[in-house]
């Protein structure tokens, strides 16, 4: 009965509070405490910054800092970028509440805003390394704001425009490049098909030459030949680059690239072309991906991009590159710039994710060490440091390596194209995989706040997951590395010539000898660390070549032998990827910034154990690391 009375009394009190006016009171049940207080980490006086942050930024961005700041300024000035002021700071971000259709139209409005302010000036008509570096820097800024915007621009400029520039000749440059730069037309890039993605050589779209009319005729012969995932095709693109098998007089000359209109100036789809929507995606919904079918679509003979090969009016096939494989490789040249920008973008997104997670860990407190004591900052827990700081160190290394990749690309020569292809493939795969792993760790390290869209990490996962498969599936790109190293090794052995390029010059030197006693000073020695990586690469590559050669001697084809020695090629790839940036880019950069008091944590070796489980660990240890399984922390404080 007493319990019933108490419940009835409580209900009466609650109802009275709703129905009867009560005098306002300022009494609060909450009082300030350590766990409820907040101040931005940069205002902390307990850990003042001990180095010049502008120097650090200069090292990490590397080039075109003023151009980057100019574009940042344009973005924060416009309401198109959802400018918000909070706590005396200006924030910009995409609106995650908008529909797919709204996001697409916002992307086009933002492109128009940037176009009117000269952002794209010289992106295709400019020449020289400085113009290319400016373009790359501005594209990185755009990617940090909105991936859909960056991809939409990238398809139009880097893929469509890049194909016209690199695969076309003067007649194409004069007609299309400035028009592309000024968005007088909107281009897309029709390479991927429903049935063929990474295997570009196998695309099924067919183009034949009609010598009577002097035209090419493009056809989609089957459903698997429909062009798929074509960015810009669903709504906005007026022209596309079609990658297609070229048939002349019944003979297949392989994959070639053609310019084909797909919409008129009013936005109507051209005759004999069908376009369909790809639909909603886990990210990049500001990009209108579409599908394209061609039904006897006729284009002028001049629309063949002819820097590699041409067709005369009478139907004669002309090319200065007689080797079919070399000719095919030349047609894939525009993809190199895409891999460079993807690798760089992945690094910047990892930086943003880590900045958010580490800042949060410097403000969020959890649990106290003593009864009634203040709660402890997350980043003061060793377990939290172990989650984030190795990833932070790795992204410094990748930042330096990415900068060097850009310098290789803008200063490329015909002789360096092969090395740029291999290095860009390696970095694109490695950096994008690392980005997804980093974002997941950052999401978890932020707890529930990591799920909130405005905190960016969660949406980043959906937006950038596609990096692992577009413009080259990462696993396929990795295979290209081991195959290139295999070919280089065999050529140098057969011709008894020294190794040059691909970071293999160390193979010309005597095998390094590891000290019998490993003291702390030796472990911290850059020479010792480099010897470890080189020994590992030398051993794995030699083992790989020997086993492939053995299978070939038994009658297996090169491709079959490659599969039979798996998973050894994977570990050859990882040894190359770990060794190359460390020896060529990371050590020189870190030696130049000792005054900043940086520490670089090397965790690649530990990850190699994780990559292959027990079998991976055995291969790794057999790779001449002996009893030294991991170098955890390399201190370059000097």
77-132 pLDDT, tens digit each: 999 999 888 878 888 888 888 999 999 999 999 999 999 999 999 999 999 999 99
Over range 238-261, report the average pLDDT.
Answer: 96
**pLDDT per position as a tens digit, 437-469:** 999 999 999 999 999 998 999 999 999 999 999
> Residue 600's pLDDT is what?
33
Nearest to 486 by CA among 398, 430, 548, 427: 548
CB 146 within 8 A of CB 285: no
pLDDT in tens, 43-91: 555 566 777 889 999 999 999 999 999 999 999 999 999 988 887 888 8
Residue 629: pLDDT above 60? no
Quick one: tokens of 16? 């009275």
How confident is the model over 479-493, as a mean pLDDT? 90
* Beta carbons within 8 Å of 359's beta carbon, 6+ residues apart: 40, 41
352-380 average pLDDT score: 90
> Dihedrals φ, ψ of 243, to 5°?
-95, 125
CB atoms within 10 A of CB 243: 23
pLDDT score, position 615? 39
**Predicted local confidence at residue 321, as pLDDT:** 85
* 556 alpha-carbon distance from chain centroid: 36
pLDDT of residue 40: 65
Residue-wise pLDDT tens digits, 155-206 = 999 999 999 999 999 999 999 999 999 999 999 999 999 999 988 999 999 9
Place of tokens 């190794």: 499
Q: How confident is the model at residue 471 (pLDDT cuts 50, 70, 90)?
A: confident
Q: Which residues contact 62 (CB under 8 A, 6 or more apart)?
A: 403, 406
Of 138, 78, 67, nearest to 112 (Cα)? 78
CA dihedral 488, 493, 494, 495 (to 10 degrees): 90
Q: How far apart are CA 513 and CA 532, in angstroms?
A: 10
- Measured between its terminal Cα atoms, the distance across the chain in Å is 78
For residue 21, pLDDT beyond 60: no
The pTM for the full model equals 0.85
Q: Are 619 and 540 in contact (CB under 8 A)?
A: yes
Query: Regarding predicted confidence, which is higher, 593 or 274?
Result: 274
Q: Which helix (H) or strand (E) holds 478?
A: helix 474-495
pLDDT for the residue 306: 95
Confidence of residue 627 (pLDDT cuts 50, 70, 90): very low
Q: Which of 197, 174, 187, 271 is nearest to 236 (CA)?
A: 187
Listed in sequence order, the residues at least 6 apart from 562 whose beta carbon sits closer than 8 Å to its beta carbon are: 479, 482, 483, 486, 548, 569
Q: Is the pLDDT of residue 436 over 80?
A: yes
User: Looking at 83-92, 430-439, 586-595, which range is the least confident one?
Assistant: 586-595
Q: Is the pLDDT score of 13 beyond 90? A: no
Q: Is the pLDDT of residue 564 over 70?
A: yes
For residues 435-464, b (16+ Cβ closer than 10 Å) or e, as one string?
bbebbebbbebbeebbeeeebbbbbbbbbb
Express as a percent the part of the chain with pLDDT over 70: 83
Which of 84-88, 96-100, 268-272, 547-551 is least confident?
Answer: 84-88
Residue 7 pLDDT grade (very low, low, confident, very high; cuts 50, 70, 90): low
Task: Produce one character per residue of 65-101: b if its CB has 16 or more CB atoms within 10 Å, e if not.
Answer: eebbeebeebbeeeeebeeeeeeeeeebbbeeeeeee
Mean pLDDT of the chain: 85
Highest mean pLDDT among 143-157, 326-340, 371-385: 143-157
DSSP one-letter code for 458: H
Domains with residue ranges and CATH for the chain? 187-325 (2.40.110.10), 334-522+544-575 (1.20.140.10)
């Amino acid at each position: 009965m007493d319990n019933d009375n108490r419940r009835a009394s409580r209900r009466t009190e609650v109802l009275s509070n709703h129905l009867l006016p009560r005098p306002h009171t300022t009494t609060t049940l909450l009082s300030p405490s350590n766990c409820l207080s907040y101040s931005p980490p940069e205002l902390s006086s307990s850990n003042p910054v001990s180095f010049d942050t502008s120097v650090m930024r200069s090292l990490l961005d590397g080039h075109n800092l003023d151009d980057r700041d100019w574009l940042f300024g344009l973005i924060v000035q416009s309401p198109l970028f959802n400018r918000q002021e909070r706590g005396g700071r200006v924030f910009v971000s995409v609106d995650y509440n908008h529909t797919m259709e709204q996001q697409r139209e916002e992307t086009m409005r933002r492109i128009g805003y940037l176009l009117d302010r000269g952002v794209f000036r010289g992106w295709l008509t400019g020449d020289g390394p400085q113009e290319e570096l400016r373009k790359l820097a501005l594209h990185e800024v755009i990617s940090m704001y909105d991936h859909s915007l960056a991809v939409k621009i990238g398809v139009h400029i880097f893929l469509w425009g890049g194909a016209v520039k690199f695969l076309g000749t003067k007649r194409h440059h004069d007609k299309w490049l400035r028009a592309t730069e000024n968005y007088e037309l909107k281009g897309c890039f029709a390479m991927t098909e429903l049935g063929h993605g990474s295997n570009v050589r196998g695309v099924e779209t067919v183009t034949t030459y009609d010598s009577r009319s002097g035209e090419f005729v493009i056809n989609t012969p089957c459903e698997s030949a429909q062009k798929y995932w074509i960015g810009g095709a669903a709504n906005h693109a007026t022209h596309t680059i079609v990658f297609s098998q070229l048939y002349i007089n019944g003979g297949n000359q392989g994959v070639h690239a053609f310019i084909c209109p797909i919409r008129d100036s009013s936005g109507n789809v051209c005759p004999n072309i069908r376009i369909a929507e790809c639909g909603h995606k886990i990210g990049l919904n500001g990009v209108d991906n579409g599908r394209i079918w061609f039904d006897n679509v006729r284009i002028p003979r001049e629309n063949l991009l002819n820097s590699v090969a041409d067709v005369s009016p009478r139907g004669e096939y002309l090319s200065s590159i007689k080797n079919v494989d070399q000719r095919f490789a030349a047609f894939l040249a525009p993809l190199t710039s895409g891999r460079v920008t993807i690798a760089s973008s992945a690094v910047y997104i990892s930086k943003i994710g880590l900045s958010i997670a580490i800042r949060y860990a410097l403000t969020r407190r959890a649990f106290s060490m003593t009864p009634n004591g203040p709660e402890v900052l997350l980043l003061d827990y060793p377990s939290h440091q172990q989650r984030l700081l190795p990833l932070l160190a790795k992204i410094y290394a990748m930042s330096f390596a990415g900068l060097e990749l850009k310098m290789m690309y803008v200063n490329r020569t015909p002789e360096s194209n092969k090395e740029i292809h291999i290095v860009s493939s390696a970095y694109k795969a490695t950096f994008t995989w690392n980005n997804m792993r980093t974002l997941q760790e950052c999401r978890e390290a932020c707890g529930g706040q990591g799920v909130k869209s405005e905190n960016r990490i969660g949406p980043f996962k959906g937006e950038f997951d596609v990096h692992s498969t577009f413009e080259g599936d990462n696993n396929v790109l990795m295979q290209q590395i081991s195959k290139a190293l295999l070919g280089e090794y065999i050529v140098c052995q057969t011709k008894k010539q020294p190794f040059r390029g691909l970071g293999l010059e160390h193979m010309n030197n005597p095998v390094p000898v590891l000290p019998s006693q490993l003291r702390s000073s030796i472990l911290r020695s850059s020479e010792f660390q480099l010897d470890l990586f080189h020994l590992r690469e030398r051993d794995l590559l030699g083992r790989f070549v020997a086993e492939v050669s053995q299978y070939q001697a038994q009658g297996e084809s090169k491709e079959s032998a490659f599969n039979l020695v798996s998973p050894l090629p994977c570990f050859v790839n990882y040894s190359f990827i770990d060794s190359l940036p460390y020896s060529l880019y990371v050590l020189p950069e870190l030696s130049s910034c000792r005054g900043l008091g940086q520490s670089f944590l090397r965790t690649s070796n530990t990850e190699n154990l994780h990559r292959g489980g027990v079998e991976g660990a055995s291969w790794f240890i057999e790779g001449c690391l002996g009893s030294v399984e991991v170098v955890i922390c390399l201190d370059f404080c000097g």
